[in-house]
């Protein structure tokens, strides 16, 4: 069977929400993984801080999963949690999450000096599909201004991913790794999973929203699949949706 897959960092819940919704409707993917999603608990919050609720209302995805990394006091006064999200047209039959270093935090402040301690998780769901179980992993990786730095935190992140996917069938791992594709941590992951885009993307940042020219040579978003999955098509979309670019792939499972 063929699965259409999309990954996108929403950018603080979706600063360009109307464009994101239009894009996702047009793509009509079977599975969507999102980073920097919010599950606002106050209806008075901006839509982007209620991204999970708005996506559920506007899109045709009967199954979804959200994993909170921390409660956001910097943008929502603690009225929303921020984390990773998976939207699926296939039933979710199992779900779990692992944190790379710092656990979920109710008091974390997202300010300079704290970034390296920001909780980050590896979100996992098993989907029931006509081809059998498909294991989808969604990542927003540990943060570091040097995308090539093979730090202990990044090494642990890669080790956790490799250990977690070992022996599982039909694995799709995607998201914002926060590491350049040239980072040794990515090479470690590629010992178990193949990269859909390899080293072919100069950047996965939307330079319309970046002033630092270093972002123009930083491909940090990616899709990785287990050896039994065939890549039929892959696209890096230049649509103005976020400070990241959306990636999509058609996969044969």
Q: How many domains does the chain have?
A: 1
Q: Name the residue range of residue 242's domain.
A: 2-252
Chain centroid, CA 205 distance in Å: 14
pLDDT at 111: 86
Q: What whole-number distance in Å separates Cα of residue 213 and Cα of residue 242?
A: 17
Range 67-96 average pLDDT:
97
pLDDT at 144: 85
Q: Which helix (H) or strand (E) holds 137?
A: strand 132-140
The per-residue pLDDT for range 184-204, each reduced to its tens digit, is 999 999 999 999 999 999 999
Give the closest residue to 119 by CA, choosing from 133, 139, 105, 98: 105
Range 91-115 average pLDDT:
93
The more confidently predicted of residues 145 and 160 is: 160
Chain centroid, CA 30 distance in Å: 15
pTM: 0.97
Range 113-122 average pLDDT:
91
The per-residue pLDDT for range 158-185, each reduced to its tens digit, is 999 999 999 999 999 999 999 999 999 9
CATH no. for residue 111? 3.60.10.10
pLDDT at 193: 98
Q: Which helix (H) or strand (E) holds 225?
A: strand 221-225
């Amino acid at each position: 069977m063929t699965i259409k897959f999309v990954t996108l960092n929403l950018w603080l819940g979706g600063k360009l929400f109307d464009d994101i919704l239009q894009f996702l409707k047009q793509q009509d993917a079977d599975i969507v993984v999102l980073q920097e999603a919010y599950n606002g608990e106050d209806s008075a919050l901006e839509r982007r801080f209620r991204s999970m609720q708005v996506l559920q209302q506007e899109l045709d995805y009967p199954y979804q999963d959200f994993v909170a990394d921390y409660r956001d006091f910097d943008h929502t006064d603690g009225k929303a949690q921020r984390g990773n999200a998976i939207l699926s047209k296939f039933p979710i039959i199992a779900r779990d999450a692992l944190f790379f270093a710092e656990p979920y935090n109710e008091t974390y402040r997202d300010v300079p000096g704290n970034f390296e301690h920001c909780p980050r998780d590896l979100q996992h769901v098993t989907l029931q599909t006509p081809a059998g179980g498909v294991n989808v992993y969604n990542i927003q990786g540990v943060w570091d201004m040097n995308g090539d730095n093979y730090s202990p935190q990044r090494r642990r992140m890669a080790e956790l991913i490799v250990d977690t996917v070992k022996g599982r069938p039909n694995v799709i791992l995607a998201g914002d790794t926060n590491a350049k594709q040239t980072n040794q941590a990515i090479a470690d992951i590629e010992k178990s999973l193949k990269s859909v885009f390899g080293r072919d993307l100069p950047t996965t940042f939307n330079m319309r929203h970046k002033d630092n020219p270093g972002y123009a040579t930083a491909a940090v978003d990616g899709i990785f699949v287990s050896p039994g999955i065939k890549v039929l098509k892959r696209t890096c979309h230049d649509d103005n949706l976020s400070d990241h670019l959306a990636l999509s792939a058609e996969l044969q499972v």
